[in-house]
Amino acid sequence: MTIRIPIRSTLLVACGILLGIAVDHIGHMDALFPPVAAQQARGPQPAPTLESLAADVAQLKAIQPSNSHIMMDVQFHWTNLWFAAQRKDWAFAQYQFNEMRGHIQWLMRKSPVIRGQDGSDVDVKSIFDAIDTSSLADVKAAIEKKDSVKFATTYKTMIESCYSCHKAVGRPYLRPMIPTAPAMTVINLDPNASWPQ
């Protein structure tokens, strides 16, 4: 016995299912994108004025992180870099190096000139540019060569470069050193760790 399903009925059922899915999907779009729906309900926004732009800039300046906050991030990655290299986890060391350097570059974009303790302006971007192509570049090269001995030497030289910048801005009390403990305990620093997989 053969069962005959008329093609027209099958197409009608399939179209009904697709239409139902489409309507259901469109109904969920407003739930997924309420800000867009809210903006459309408010109508067009007025063009920015000089006064509104000034207020926006002032608000952004008020919420940007301080230089010391950015430097705490630098310290975090610089410390992790030391322990990664000590364990010869060169991939993790490269990551920490890149993060540390990126945070210093962020600081240079934010504050290329810093007011020293004596009130004079210090062009820290020029200081960093010189360090970036010398002692910091040497640290990078030691990581790329996976050379533990060279890394330890260049890391110490870089600490001296950091301190020269601290002194240039009148903060000689910020005296960096070789880290004595990892900056974090949630990341396993063992490159041969077997868990988690």
The terminus-to-terminus CA distance of the chain in angstroms comes to 56
**Does 48 reside within a domain?**
no
CA 197 to chain centroid, in Å, comes to: 25
101 part of a folded domain: yes
Could you tell me if 116 and 169 are in contact, meaning their C-beta atoms sit under 8 angstroms apart?
A: yes
* In a shared domain, residues 26 and 81: no
pLDDT value, residue 195: 92
Residue 76's domain spans which residues? 65-168
| Pair 146, 101 in one domain | yes
Q: If pLDDT is split at 50, 70 and 90, which confidence band does 41 have?
A: low
Contact 81, 100 (CB under 8 A): yes
Query: Are 145 and 107 members of one domain?
Result: yes
33/88 same-domain check = no
Percent of the chain with pLDDT over 70: 80
Number of domains in the chain: 2
Q: Do 132 and 78 share a domain, yes or no?
A: yes
What are 113-152's pLDDT values in tens digits?
999 989 999 999 999 999 999 999 999 999 999 999 999 9
Average pLDDT across the chain, whole number: 87
pLDDT per position as a tens digit, 74-83: 999 999 999 9
What average pLDDT does this structure show over 26-37?
57
In a domain, 142, yes or no: yes
Cis-peptide, bond into residue 112, ω within 30° of zero? no
- The verdict on 99 and 151 lying in the same domain is yes
- Tell whether the model's pLDDT for residue 179 goes beyond 60: yes
